[in-house]
């Protein structure tokens, strides 16, 4: 079985947020848990990478390939391309006011516009230790 771990939102300044497991990276402030993901490979799950976008000065998290303007980084966690039992869609949300993406379950936060499903992960409200 694979362990689920909480994925947190971390802040590196007024606008910049990152999404990954603990511990915080250098210069990050820990925010809230946004969803649970797998910490190790699983036959039905694929690696979700961080992608640095120089223009936005932000890390995005999604499956390869890189989006326009991004450079692929490291594996952050494992998630599903298709919905599996107990999983929920994680969307990318765009916030025009701060020109940043956020990655979380619905609903959109104030000022965000829901974009596309990036992967499927688990709600923190229905946490179980293993898959």
pLDDT of 129 higher than 50: no
Q: How many helices (H) and strands (E) does the chain have?
A: 0, 9
CA distance from start to end of the chain: 5
- Whether 63 shows a pLDDT value over 80: the answer reads yes
By percentage, how much of the chain surpasses pLDDT 90? 77
Coil/strand/helix, residue 124: helix
Residue 111 has pLDDT above 90, yes or no: yes
Two structure tokens written together for 55: 């223009």
16 is written with which tokens?
Answer: 């910049």
Q: Are 79 and 37 in contact (CB under 8 A)?
A: yes
Averaged pLDDT, 3-23: 87
């Amino acid at each position: 079985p694979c362990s689920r771990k909480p994925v947190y939102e971390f802040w590196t300044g007024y606008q910049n947020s990152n999404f990954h497991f603990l511990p915080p990276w250098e210069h990050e402030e820990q925010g809230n848990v946004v969803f649970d993901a797998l910490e190790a490979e699983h036959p039905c799950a694929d690696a979700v990478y961080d992608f640095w976008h120089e223009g936005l000065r932000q890390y995005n998290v999604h499956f390869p390939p890189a989006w326009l303007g991004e450079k692929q980084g490291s594996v952050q966690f494992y998630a599903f391309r298709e919905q599996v039992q107990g999983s929920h869609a994680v969307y990318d949300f765009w916030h025009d006011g701060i020109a940043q993406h956020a990655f979380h379950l619905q609903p959109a936060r104030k000022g965000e516009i829901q974009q596309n499903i990036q992967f499927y992960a688990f709600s923190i409200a229905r946490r179980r230790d293993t898959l």
